[in-house]
Amino acid sequence: MTVHVVPAPAALVELAGPPLLLGAGTRLLTCEAGLPAATLLAEVLARATGHALEVEVEVAGPVPGALRLELDDDLPVPVGGAAGHAPGLAPRAEEAYRLAVAADGLVLHARGLLGLLRGVATVRQLVELTGAGAWIPAVQVHDAPHHGWRGLSVDVARHFFGPADLEAVVDLLWLYKLDVLHLHLTDDQGWRIDLPSRPELVARSSAGAVDGDPGGAFDATQWAALVDYAAARGVVVVPEIDVPGHVNAALHACGDLVPGGEPTAQYEGIDVGFSQLTAGLPATSAFLGEVFTDLAAMTPGPYLHVGGDEVLTMAHEEYADLVGQAVEAVRDTGKLVVGWQEAATTAPAPGTVVQVWDLRQDPAPLVAAADGGALVLMSPATRAYLDLKYDATTPLGLEWAGHVDVRDAYDWDPATVLPAVPATSVVGVEAAVFTETLRTRDDLMWMLLPRLAALAEVGWTAPQARAFDDFRRRLARHPALWEADGLRWHPSAQIDWVG
């Protein structure tokens, strides 16, 4: 087997015939609706092969050797994939695609643009480069995802990662068919998005970061551009404003959120759990209403994340009151709510997504929330936290939940990791990278690669179709893809890297 597509498609057959050769004369054809996917294919092929193909629209009749992207409303969806689904994200049929490659051409079909974007990612991974030129092996693929929510959460609060870094992250999400970019935009160390009703948040609390490193923040224009860049690659942005804990940046900017009225000091450490909003202050509910209303207006995606994690300084009653206010503010905007695991203790409304991160916590509130109709997103730190060290020798990263090497990230099933939570409530998987110890794009990529590819397969490929030995054989050939884009990666000893 020569092909090495990650995540593994639902069905892939390698054909005995000769490959499709790509050259300067290769034609790229599509319909009007397929234009964005064809344009993306032209862009990634130009970067990979040096051949700049022109996209031609509505060319009828057979064209030998061409690449053709077309819509097919009746495209069958591969069987299987009974996993729980998150409302607001594309149903499985919209991400399905069928690909046929032979010496006489490539044909990619999907029901709509999103399926074409997924298929184009497969095409990118199939392209081979040898001295003789670029080619695509003869294959047939019929594919659709197992889970609908396949995300990565990036902490841009502890250290700031701006538009260019996040576009590089989105490129990776697209390459591995992930569909959610969750951004942890606020924390004790910094506030990273400019909101029109609260300009003081960024004015006073965006300059710093952990260890006195430089900060930063998204302005409205940069934010809109990032959301568009992600949408063009089939990725939905889910922004998080973390309340009622992890709020020192807000307390530093707005003294009226602090009992006594004195703004707190800027914070550059990495402790958690010490800052909080106060339910009894008149300014608090206005703050919650304004920040989530502004965030909703700036964000086309269906979800806003309210945080809710690691509040160690308040009684449950006050916690539930404050989370309830945040949730109500989000629901008033028409958006759906995501909250960290702890928010399960506040009797979340049906359809609320609760994100599991700490398997040491009592699962009973999660089970009760799921019984009440809440949905569960799996990010257990021991599997999905890509800020944890690979092993004891890893220079970057944390160790609070142990080490996560490639096999740990791969060898688990979101539907069974918490046996008491019914599989039908589990909407998918999200990797997370917190950035206490990560300063640069190289640091970030080195922690994401190769583990992000493992989590992507956990989300996309049905558990009965996954095996670590097969995954490691395919993954071994992916450094060529990463290096073509100048990305740093960690050569885990668990993989026999090729080349």
Can residue 314 be called a binding residue for ligand TNX (CB under 6 A)?
no
Among 223, 292, 357, 410, binds ligand TNX (CB under 6 A): 357
Among 385, 410, 446, 489, binds ligand TNX (CB under 6 A): 385
Is the Cβ of residue 176 or residue 434 nearer to ligand TNX in the bound state? 434
Closest approach of ligand TNX to the CB of residue 189, in Å:
10
Is the Cβ of residue 379 or residue 492 nearer to ligand TNX in the bound state? 379
**Using CA atoms, how far apart are residues 22 and 342, in angstroms rounded to an integer?**
52
The kind and range of the H/E element at 443 are: helix 441-448
Say if CB 108 and CB 142 are below 8 A apart: no
The kind and range of the H/E element at 226 are: helix 220-231
Can residue 160 be called a binding residue for ligand TNX (CB under 6 A)?
no
Say if CB 427 and CB 353 are below 8 A apart: yes
Can residue 268 be called a binding residue for ligand TNX (CB under 6 A)?
no
Is the Cβ of residue 81 or residue 190 nearer to ligand TNX in the bound state? 190
Can residue 194 be called a binding residue for ligand TNX (CB under 6 A)?
no
Three-state DSSP at 28 gives: strand
430 in catalytic set: no
Among 33, 103, 207, 272, binds ligand TNX (CB under 6 A): 272
Long-range contacts of 488-492 (CB under 8 A, 24+ apart): 488/442, 488/445, 488/446, 488/449, 489/445, 489/446, 489/449, 489/450, 490/390, 490/394, 490/446, 490/447, 490/449, 490/450, 492/390, 492/405, 492/406, 492/450
Tokens of 57: 């629209």
**Using CA atoms, how far apart are residues 412 and 410, in angstroms rounded to an integer?**
6
Three-state DSSP at 70 gives: strand
Among 94, 95, 179, 309, binds ligand TNX (CB under 6 A): 309
Closest approach of ligand TNX to the CB of residue 385, in Å:
5
Can residue 359 be called a binding residue for ligand TNX (CB under 6 A)?
no
Q: 43, 268, 310, 328: which one is catalytic?
A: 310
Is the Cβ of residue 77 or residue 377 nearer to ligand TNX in the bound state? 377
Site for ligand TNX in 326-345 (CB under 6 A): 340
Radius of gyration of the chain (CA): 23
160: nearest Cα among 198, 202, 101: 202
Spell out, one character per residue from 27 to 66, where the chain touches ligand TNX: x when CB under 6 A holds, - when not.
Answer: ----------------------------------------
Residue 24 buriedness (CB in 10 A; 0-12 / 13-18 / 19+):
exposed
Can residue 398 be called a binding residue for ligand TNX (CB under 6 A)?
yes
Can residue 387 be called a binding residue for ligand TNX (CB under 6 A)?
yes
Task: Give 284-340 as a DSSP string.
Answer: HHHHHHHHHHHHHHH--SSEEEEE-----SS-HHHHHHHHHHHHHHHHHTT-EEEEE
Site for ligand TNX in 417-446 (CB under 6 A): 434, 436
Closest approach of ligand TNX to the CB of residue 357, in Å:
4
Can residue 319 be called a binding residue for ligand TNX (CB under 6 A)?
no
Three-state DSSP at 168 gives: helix
**Using CA atoms, how far apart are residues 242 and 333, in angstroms rounded to an integer?**
17
Say if CB 69 and CB 411 are below 8 A apart: no
Closest approach of ligand TNX to the CB of residue 483, in Å:
28
Closest approach of ligand TNX to the CB of residue 411, in Å:
20
Is the Cβ of residue 271 or residue 469 nearer to ligand TNX in the bound state? 271
Is the Cβ of residue 357 or residue 410 nearer to ligand TNX in the bound state? 357
Active site residues: 310
Contacts to ligand TNX by CB under 6 A: 272, 309-310, 340, 357, 385, 387, 398, 434, 436
